[in-house]
Structure 1
Amino acid sequence: MSKILAAVFAFVAIFFILGNAAPAPPTQVLDAQTAIQKIIAAYNRIPGPSVVYPWEVATLIDPNTFVAHY
């Protein structure tokens, strides 16, 4: 019983030591407009031309009549 107890104490000690050794960076909550601006700015840093794909017609699937054929 004492070996199991010692192992549990060792595990808990390691857990707390590692938890305090590398604290997580503080998170920054952004509003929607700021998040969109950051995404666009990150996209604009990608070099090269953008690829424009032709239009596709959306196909709607009726879940009541859809049958998957394998």
Structure 2
Amino acid sequence: MSRILVAAIAFVAICLVLVSAAPAPAPPTQILDARTAIEKIIAAYNRIPGPSVVHPWEVATLIDPNTFVAHF
């Protein structure tokens, strides 16, 4: 009796692992035009609570990948 119980518990555990490892169904694809995409991004940003962080202005630098050497 205990062998059957252990085998049943092992079977159920394997089934649960396989079900949880299954990929989730893909969400339906929706192609948006640029204006709608930007409006959705701004709307999502506006839903974030709290004040916005304003960083000070800084000069952008250009790195030439042909002459760049990383010193570690």
TM-score normalized by the length of structure 1: 0.56
State the 1:30 CA deviation. 0.9
* Alignment-mate amino acid for residue 55 of structure 2: Y
Provide closer, same or farther for how the CA distance between residues 26 and 65 of structure 1 changes in structure 2, counting only shifts above 3 A. closer
Provide closer, same or farther for how the CA distance between residues 51 and 23 of structure 1 changes in structure 2, counting only shifts above 3 A. closer
3-state SS in 2 of match to 1:68: coil
Q: Which runs of 5+ in 1 are unaligned?
A: 1-17
CA RMSD of aligned residues (A): 2.4
Aligned residues: 51
Provide closer, same or farther for how the CA distance between residues 48 and 67 of structure 1 changes in structure 2, counting only shifts above 3 A. same
TM-score normalized by the length of structure 2: 0.55
Percentage of identical aligned residues? 88
State the 1:28 CA deviation. 1.5
Q: Which runs of 5+ in 2 are unaligned?
A: 1-21
Any residues of structure 2 matched to 1:1-70 within 5 Å, and which? Answer: 24-70=26-72
